[in-house]
């Protein structure tokens, strides 16, 4: 049995990760400040004696003895990470410093939940890990993008300078049950609007693309990454290369929910990337033949079922 710390463990991805790690027979300490996460995401785990929930902010040091650390603490939706941009930067950067310092002291392996946002508005397509990205350092998304880029640099340098065992994954747009209905991300927005027969809010003309992966595929990839040999540090993209135009996603969700909603167009937010699609060659090579199993219809139907249970 391993003892594992998951920061941001009460969030969307973190709660699924905690659940899977517990199911695999590990002891899990879930650390969260409940900014975008909540107790309700992990309430079903609280009766498990091998699960511990800790209210703590990663910008402050934290001491514990564990074998592995998954560092997920950071708001992920543009609405939430832009709400308090300075705090977002502190969470990414100071959170990484604190967790890397902990990993160094206790000799734990540590995985960073980085993001496709490090590629910014990418000029190469699909994105490979050796692409340095196209990020506006002073734009609306920079608190998140640059915070995550700085965290990657910290991880790589703690590895080189101090021999810390690191793993960096770059997560592409992920969706599934336990996304917040109001967190502003496109899949939750569209499903909630469709279920309420309200207008579907497409930003811009909807020709921008994203590639969406279902949560279970990501969790499988994350755990496989943690289990790779020490010389596999990443960064490694984890995503589903199925690329969709946002307008087509809107139409698909209307169809799958049998909704009466119509599409309504709104201005495109500042620095909204035009295209995004992961090259997953490295993941397939290093993660024991990992490959996404959920196609869009299957993942969306499961997510729609979830939102039906929480929408009045
Ligand atoms: P989320 O907002 O649901 O989860 C983030 C969690 O971190 C929340 O529980 C929140 O309360 C917690 N948190 C935030 N600031 C904190 C702090 N200072 N101290 C302690 N806890 C804090 O988002 P998510 O989608 O589950 O994302 C989890 C991680 O994965 C994030 O690091 C995010 O950048 C990364 N990621 C997610 C996606 C995606 O599509 N969901 C894509 C790329 C990267
Ligand atoms: N988007 C949209 N309508 C919404 C929410 C988002 O058209 O109600 C668009 C957004 O402009 C972006 C894409 O959907 O082009 C994905 O947005 P999201 O916030 O989910 O993720 P990110 O931009 O961080 O990839």
pTM for the whole structure: 0.98
CATH code, 69: 3.40.50.720
Kindly state if the Cβ of 225 falls inside 6 Å of ligand 2: no
Instruction: Kindly state whether residue 208 falls inside one of the protein's structural domains.
Output: no
Proportion of the chain above pLDDT 90, given as a percent: 99
Across the range 82-96, mean pLDDT stands at 98
Query: 281: closest CA among 271, 268, 290?
Result: 290
Is residue 311's pLDDT more than 90? no
**Tally of CA atoms within 13 A in the half-sphere of 21 that contains its CB:** 33
Kindly state if the Cβ of 114 falls inside 6 Å of ligand 2: no
| Cβ < 6 A, ligand 1 pocket | 7-8, 10-14, 32-37, 57-59, 72-76, 91, 95, 113, 115, 171, 173-174
Ligand 2 centroid from CA 173, angstroms: 10
Instruction: Kindly state whether residue 272 falls inside one of the protein's structural domains.
Output: no
The pLDDT value given to residue 229: 98
Instruction: Kindly state whether residue 81 falls inside one of the protein's structural domains.
Output: yes
The pLDDT value given to residue 183: 86
Instruction: Kindly state whether residue 299 falls inside one of the protein's structural domains.
Output: no
Instruction: Kindly state whether residue 179 falls inside one of the protein's structural domains.
Output: no
Q: What is the pLDDT of residues 232-280, one digit of tens each?
A: 999 999 999 999 999 999 999 999 999 999 999 999 999 999 999 999 9
The pLDDT value given to residue 152: 98
Is residue 312's pLDDT more than 90? no
Instruction: Kindly state whether residue 267 falls inside one of the protein's structural domains.
Output: no
Ligand 2 centroid from CA 202, angstroms: 8
Ligand 1 centroid from CA 298, angstroms: 24
Residue 272 pairs in a beta bridge with none
* Atom number of ligand 1 nearest to Cα 41: 9
Question: Per-residue confidence at 135, pLDDT binned at 50, 70, 90?
Answer: very high
Whole-angstrom distance, CA of residue 21 vs CA of residue 18: 5
The pLDDT value given to residue 62: 98
Ligand 2 centroid from CA 139, angstroms: 16
Ligand nearest to the CA of 215: 1
From 144, 175, 214, 294, the catalytic residue: 144
Q: Has 294 been annotated as catalytic?
A: no
- Give the residue, by CA position, lying nearest to ligand 1 atom 27: 76
| Residue to mutate, 55, 62, 74, ligand 1, most ligand atoms under 8 Å from C-beta | 74
Instruction: Kindly state whether residue 42 falls inside one of the protein's structural domains.
Output: yes
| Residue to mutate, 36, 42, 150, 168, ligand 1, most ligand atoms under 8 Å from C-beta | 36
Proportion of the chain above pLDDT 70, given as a percent: 100
Kindly state if the Cβ of 247 falls inside 6 Å of ligand 2: no
Instruction: Kindly state whether residue 284 falls inside one of the protein's structural domains.
Output: yes
HEC string for the chain: CCEEEEECCCCHHHHHHHHHHHHCCCEEEEEECCCCCCHHHCHHHCCCCCEEEEECCCCCCCCCCCCEEEECCCCCCHHHHCCCHHHHHHHHHHHHHHHHHHHHHHCCEEEEEEEHHHHECCCCCCECCCCCCECCCCCCCHHHHHHHHHHHHHHHHHHHHHCCCEEEEEECCEECCCCCCCCCCHHHHHHHHHHCCCCEEEECCCCCEEECEEHHHHHHHHHHHHCCCCCCCCCEEECCCCEEEHHHHHHHHHHHCCCCCCEEEECCCCCCCCCCCECCHHHHHHCCCCCCCCCHHHHHHHHHHHHHHHCC
In whole numbers, what is the pLDDT of the chain averaged over residues? 97
Q: How far is CA 154 from CA 100, 103, 114, 209, 222, in A?
A: 8, 13, 12, 30, 20
Whole-angstrom distance, CA of residue 118 vs CA of residue 171: 10
Q: Which domain holds residue 57?
A: 3-174+214-240+278-293
Q: What is the pLDDT of residues 150-190, one digit of tens each?
A: 999 999 999 999 999 999 999 999 999 999 998 899 999 99
Q: What is the pLDDT of residues 99-126, one digit of tens each?
A: 999 999 999 999 999 999 999 999 999 9
Q: At residue 279, what are phi and psi to the nearest 5 degrees?
A: -90, 120
Residues 284/291, Cβ–Cβ less than 8 Å: yes
Cα 152 to chain centroid distance, Å, stands at: 15
**For residue 264, what are the contacts with CB-CB under 8 A and spacing of at least 6?**
199, 200, 201, 202
Question: Per-residue confidence at 211, pLDDT binned at 50, 70, 90?
Answer: very high
The pLDDT value given to residue 156: 98
Say how many domains are in the chain.
1
The pLDDT value given to residue 242: 94
Ligand nearest to the CA of 116: 1
């Amino acid at each position: 049995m391993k003892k594992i710390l998951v920061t941001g463990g009460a969030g969307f991805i973190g709660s699924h990760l905690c659940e899977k790690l517990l199911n695999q027979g590990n002891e899990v300490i879930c650390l969260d400040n409940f900014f975008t996460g909540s107790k309700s995401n992990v309430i079903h785990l609280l009766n498990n004696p091998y699960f511990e929930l800790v209210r703590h902010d990663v910008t402050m040091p934290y001491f514990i003895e564990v074998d592995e650390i998954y560092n997920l603490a950071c708001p992920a939706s543009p609405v939430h990470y832009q709400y308090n941009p300075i705090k977002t930067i502190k969470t990414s950067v100071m959170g990484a410093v604190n967790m890397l310092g902990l990993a160094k002291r206790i000799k734990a392996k540590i995985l960073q939940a980085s993001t496709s946002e490090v590629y910014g508005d990418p000029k190469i397509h699909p994105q490979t890990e050796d692409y340095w990205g196209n990020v506006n350092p002073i734009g609306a998304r920079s608190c998140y993008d640059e915070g995550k880029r700085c965290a990657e640099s910290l991880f790589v340098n703690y590895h080189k300078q101090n021999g810390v065992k690191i793993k960096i994954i770059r997560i592409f747009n992920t969706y599934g049950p336990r996304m917040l209905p109001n967190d502003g991300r496109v899949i939750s927005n569209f499903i909630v609007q469709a279920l309420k027969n309200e207008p579907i809010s497409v930003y811009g003309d909807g020709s921008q693309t994203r590639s969406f992966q279902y949560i279970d595929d990501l969790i499988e990839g994350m755990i496989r990454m943690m289990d790779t040999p020490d010389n596999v540090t990443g960064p490694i993209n984890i995503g589903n290369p199925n690329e969709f135009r946002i307008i087509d996603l809107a139409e698909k969700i209307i169809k799958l929910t049998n909704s009466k909603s119509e599409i309504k167009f709104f201005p495109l937010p500042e620095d909204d990337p035009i295209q995004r699609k992961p090259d997953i060659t490295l993941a397939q090579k290093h993660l024991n033949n990992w490959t996404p199993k959920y196609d869009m219809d299957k993942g969306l139907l499961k997510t729609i079922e979830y939102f039906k249970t929480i929408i009045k």
